[in-house]
Amino acid sequence: MNRLNGRTLGDTLKTPAPGFRRTLTAATVAALLATAGCSGQDSGTGSTGGTAPPATSATAPPAATATTGATPLPTSAVSTAPGGAPAEAAGLQTFTFPDGHISFAYPAGWKVQTKQGPYLDEASKAGSVEAVVLDQSGAEVVSISSGMYGDGAAGRVERTVLDRAPVPGIIDATGKPAEFGFALDEVQPDGSSYYFMDVRLASEFLPTQESSGSNQVPLANGIMAAYVVFDFTRQPVFASSEAAKAWMATEQYAQLKSLLLSLKYA
């Protein structure tokens, strides 16, 4: 899924991944850089249920008019050592999926809601769960699915990786490492573009990458898909590469990166 409910990281920002609800909105990068600090809410989880949503896909979304901006995040919630010191010591909370396998740390004042993830049959339904992370304003900013089935499509792109880092807690079912990445894909041959920020196999962040690939990571309990929720209807999210790089210096970026780096599979 790739869109924030109500407001978006696009209201807070803008970019692609299969099926976002509300996106991180994209007001102005200037406002995004100039402000920081919001009030918090209690964390919590919901119950799963409902019919199966469409499967996550790696197909690139169509390009659209760019706008920029993002809702600032509280400074106190930034973790300086994802996967290191206990989350509580860094002012964070920990969420663990119902089956006990995937966990991650998120800022105090944010909350996590769970819902039914994609499934093929009744036997696999219970094990497929999507955790939607909402920031202190109530905007959906991150989606993490666990135990779902995998499918999707990919196309040819020219990828520019702006940031990448190992996610030590996630190794795929065949022993391949996973990485966090923030990147820009220019779809070939039409030249449309989109930004994405997610966790995928490390091999997809190499300079030689020419396929849009997928953020689906196969684990022992099924597929994991973890990504920041950008508004794919408003591509390419940032008005320029300079604006995207400027966002990387903000607290919001640090918060989101820290959350994805903290992912662990047990």
Q: Are 142 and 114 in contact (CB under 8 A)?
A: no
Q: For 187-206, how does the pLDDT look when each residue is reduced to its tens digit (9 = 90+)?
A: 999 989 999 999 999 999 99
Average pLDDT over the chain, rounded to whole?
A: 76
Q: For 146-157, how does the pLDDT look when each residue is reduced to its tens digit (9 = 90+)?
A: 999 988 889 999
Range with the largest mean pLDDT of 17-31, 49-63, 199-213: 199-213
The distance from CA 104 to its chain's CA centroid, rounded to whole angstroms, is 12
Report pLDDT for 234.
74
Q: For 235-252, how does the pLDDT look when each residue is reduced to its tens digit (9 = 90+)?
A: 788 989 999 999 999 999
Q: How far apart are CA 147 and CA 224, in angstroms?
A: 6
Tokens of 182: 């923030």
Lowest-confidence range among 12-21, 166-175, 201-210? 12-21
Domain boundaries, the chain: 2-154+222-265
Q: What percent of the chain has pLDDT over 90?
A: 61
Q: At 227, which amino acid appears?
A: Y
Q: What percent of the chain has pLDDT over 70?
A: 66
